[in-house]
Amino acid sequence: MQERITTRADERMTTTGLRESAPRSLRVHHTERVTPQVLLVELRDLDGEDLPPYEPGAHIDVHLPDGAVRSYSLCGDPADRSAYRIAVLNHPGGRGSRFIHGDLRLGTTVTVAPPRNNFRFDAAPRTLFIAGGIGITPLLPMIRAASRRGADWVLHYCVRSAVEAPFLAELRALGNGAVVVHAADEGRRLAVADLMAATSDDTLVYCCGPQRLMDGVASAARPSQDVRFEWFTPRADAGRDATPDDRFEVVCARSGVTVAVTEGVSVLNALDAAGVSVDSSCEQGICGTCETAVLEGEPDHRDSVLSDAERAAGKTMMICVSRARSARLVLDV
Ligand code: FES
């Protein structure tokens, strides 16, 4: 996964209602350069204990020594509870990239928050995966799972060149599916609109990669298609249903505090100013850390995490960006 900017993360309620535990220290057990620019890092518990479980599509937040936090998809085997594996692209200017490529050594201890999953993998008879570069990382465990289940899958893998395509040999060796590489240096670019037009409605589509690729897939998809994304930056249509930024009231059911959220102020910041702390990370509506249960009222969703069905259900909202359609929201905080 590419780096996502985060500021803090510890304990939070997941979309499944499970409460996760605080960050823990893990040790770098193994590193391996899988392409000239991508470093695979394996992290293990200091005492060799099993790590919290995760599902394909999950990511972890790595706390950097300077206090920043970066999220990376888990690309290992979820059945292996002994280790978390991440693959990190070396890109200029990235603080997480600089730390992981420049400072990590075997035995280095890093602080890692437990896995979180905004990119759930469901079994389907047919699955189409669309990856761009390092965007392959959350898809890799999904593709392995689809292959093991004997499901029919195809991966369209967009890369600058085949030698810079992480995990390509492993992907090609997996059964029941096909890997189609679109290497820019060979002039093979993916025709996104044609691919989506040729994809049947009973095919589940997973996409992760650069913004331009994901925006292209999102705009080419039919409403009847089930397409799931892992966003690194807010999706272009995140506020597609947004209403004007009017003032509204938020009642915090558990803490008993009521705050007014005014124009230009997020729910997250309004609560914080009133002394109600909710964990946050990206503050752009892309990581899911601030997801909060809605007990009453109608959210005005502006995030890139919830599906259309989850938006319509209105049971949770990302309070760093989303607001209210109703004059009052009651939140489970
Ligand atoms: S803090 Fe990342 S979605 Fe709100």
Closest approach atom of ligand 1 to CA 286: 3
Q: How far apart are CA 212 and CA 209, in angstroms?
A: 8
In the reported structure, the alpha carbon of residue 225 is separated from the centroid of ligand 1 by a whole-number distance in angstroms of: 26
- Cα separation, 36 vs 279, in Å, equals 36
Sheet holding 69-73, edge to edge: 5-6, 69-73, 59-63, 109-116, 24-35, 38-45, 84-89
CATH number attached to the domain at 8-112: 2.40.30.10
Q: Quick: pLDDT tens for 107-141.
A: 999 999 999 898 989 988 899 999 999 999 999 99
DSSP-assigned beta bridge partners for residue 1: none
User: Among the atoms of ligand 1, which is closest to the Cα of residue 280?
Assistant: 1
Question: What's the whole-model pTM score?
Answer: 0.81
Fold for 248-331, please state it: Ubiquitin-like (UB roll) (3.10.20)
User: Does ligand 1 come within 6 angstroms of the Cβ of 285?
Assistant: yes
For ligand 1, whether the C-beta of 289 sits within 6 Å is yes
Give yes or no for residue 267 CB within 6 A of ligand 1: no
Task: Tell me the two tokens of residue 178.
Answer: 């096909």
Distance (angstroms) between ligand 1 centre and the Cα of 304 equals: 9
Nearest atom in ligand 1 to the alpha carbon of residue 287 is: 2
Pick the CATH number of 126-230 from 1.10.1200.10, 3.30.160.150, 3.40.50.80, 3.40.50.620: 3.40.50.80
Q: List, for residues 73-98, the tens digit of each pLDDT value.
A: 999 999 999 999 999 999 877 888 99
Per-residue buried b or exposed e for 90-119, using 16+ beta carbons within 10 Å of the residue's own CB:
beeebebbebbbeebeeeeebebbbbbbbb
Determine the number of helices (DSSP H) and then strands (DSSP E) in the chain. 7, 19
Q: Alpha-carbon distance 267 to 320, whole Å?
A: 6
Which atom of ligand 1 is found nearest the CA of 305? 3
Domain ranges, ordered by start, for the chain: 8-112, 126-230, 248-331
Rounded average pLDDT over 36-65: 95
Dist. CA 41–CA 87, nearest whole Å: 6
Tell me: the pLDDT tens digits for 215-263?
A: 999 999 999 999 999 987 788 788 888 888 899 999 999 999 999 999 9
Q: What is the pLDDT of residues 134-166, one digit of tens each?
A: 999 999 999 999 999 999 999 999 999 998 999
Report d(CA 113, CA 19) in Å as an integer: 12
Q: What's the alpha-carbon Rg for the chain, to the nearest Å?
A: 20
Task: Tell me, in angstroms, the distance from the centre of ligand 1 to residue 303's CA.
Answer: 8
Fold identical between 126-230 and 248-331?
Answer: no
CB of 282 closer than 6 angstroms to any ligand 1 atom? yes
